[in-house]
Structure 1
């Protein structure tokens, strides 16, 4: 059942759109995938938060994933985010992801309603049963869903369903991430969405990261990964300092329109953002650019 799972530098690619953000620019996907692969990225978490996945129609999500997989040509691990507000849509997206050749899929915890932990267990239990031949990640991002998935529930789910193979933990809580790593078997694929903790969680036993800013500037993520793998912990933490400065200048992954703007400056077509997100004004861009350029100069890189 298991194909490839996320490890090392995983990124959450942005989804190219037209300038108004009204539709996906499918023709711009290949150049972006080539860019990420050439920079040394190990895996892509397609159509997640940074990819505006929940803002797209099912038809758009399916075609976008298909083109990311086609452009990838097997170079990087591909995990498809299939979270949605409607349960039946989640299952439809999961079946499509499996049939399209994604290595695995992820589902964010339910949002809008507040849920008890037993309801979250039931939610993932039913999903795992519906696609029991396909590797699944639990996606924990309580800052957006208001529904954190507890370590106990994750452990119960993994024990019951061997196709629940990992967790994307974007809680920003280092204790929570390490608790999952220490509680679950070493084969469980924990990846962390907190850029500032990347070096620390790798050393603590995480398999890798999934980063939005990493999909804009993968270079320092690659440096941290390589230093940890080589056992050069001092260098890893020095590179981590630069990585953290850079990701904070990008809005710590929360400013999607600005990350698209920076990718445009790096020579890629990204366009606008999907409603209800809003494109930045020229004044906002200038202010952010001034800060980013100053940080880039300090750490010794250019666009």
Structure 2
């Protein structure tokens, strides 16, 4: 396993609405949630997708004959300037049942104030679980292409945003769908610690909260989860590949007990987030805007 080398930049990506049609995040697990495609949950709505055995896990995981292993290497990540890539790491694919062999690197977010390539920082939109999320949310892979099955559903998923539910309809789950890829979403694939306490090219502080900061729920009570606990580290090389922001840094795909966001209104979904959107508390868990949420130790404002 090679150590993580500095990458010029792969324009970051984001999944600001990775579950664009998400159910309220009440920590009840996958059953009945937006990721329940068995035919009994909300996730298959509008797609006519269901599993003959009413399984849930099979849409993502396979107990036997998985499509990928955790030992595969990736060193072909493209850079903004077209030069050779420099990142090598293990592909994170826990008994994955969906094909990732032809997965492309989507366009990613870059701005005047955020461009890791100019700082020589690693920026890889497919690192960790983000690669897995995009096997559904890239806008090209059908939901029923799993467990070795070929797609039987002619459906195109779009990247749209309309209204408080975060999507233009049941088909708008293609967060990285062309033509914009993830260039219009919150960046992921960068190392949080590289920007903590740092300034951008304009000498403006990034204003990030300490990694010990807790998420808060809708009652403004601290959850057990911190910024550090949701950053990705390679389980096979946690010394060199760690502290990366991924899709799973915001969204609990299994809708587990970590999720603290209950929708404040009937038309505002929870998006499987780890914390509350009330008073933008979720955003302010990472982004330190003085006087809005908390103090440097991450204590929420009462």
Smaller-chain TM-score bracket:
under 0.3
Bigger share in strand: 1
Bigger share in helix: 1
Higher RCO (C-alpha 8 Å, min separation 6)? 2
- TM-score in terms of structure 2 length: 0.27
